[in-house]
Amino acid sequence: MKQVQNAAEFQVSIQSSNLIIAVFKADWCGDCKYIDPFMPEVEEKYKDRLTFIEVDVDKVGDVSQEQGIMGIPSFVAYADGRELVRFVNKLRKSREEIEDFVGKALDVYHTLHDMAERKE
């Protein structure tokens, strides 16, 4: 998972026309460490359909504040610079919950993409 180093890099990443899912985390976060073992498999499963980026809330704190991230780990889907859907709460997230969120993000992304194509 590509780690975002600053706010400018984050902005460039979310401007993609492809689906981007930002994972907001921190080194000290126990629930973030809980997802670490299975996230590479989740990332691999969806690699042809979306890109995950990691945002360390301590290193790139301005971004998490601007995005209204209150609890971590949090997942926010973006495309074309717009937020599409988010999975944000203070509870530990299971692999199943994360994959359910990814599925919802893909559904929203494809729905918006299909609508845009019909308008052209």
- Tell me how far apart the terminal alpha carbons of the chain are, to the nearest angstrom: 34
Residue bearing tokens 């780990």: 73
Q: What is the pLDDT of residue 120?
A: 64
Q: pLDDT (tens digit, 0 to 9) for every residue of the chain, 120 residues total?
A: 999 999 999 999 999 999 999 999 999 999 999 999 999 999 999 999 999 999 999 999 799 999 999 889 999 999 999 999 999 877 889 999 999 999 999 999 999 888 777 776
**Dihedral sign computed on CA atoms, order 93, 68, 105, 25:** negative
As annotated, the active-site residues are 29, 32
The answer to whether the beta carbons of residues 20 and 78 sit under 8 Å apart is yes
Query: In sequence order, what DSSP letters do the residues of 6-71 get, joined into one string?
Result: SHHHHHHHHT-SS-EEEEEE-TT-HHHHHHTTTHHHHHHHTTTT-EEEEEETTTTHHHHHHTT--S
CA atoms of 15 and 1, how far apart (whole Å): 17
pTM higher than the cut 0.75: yes
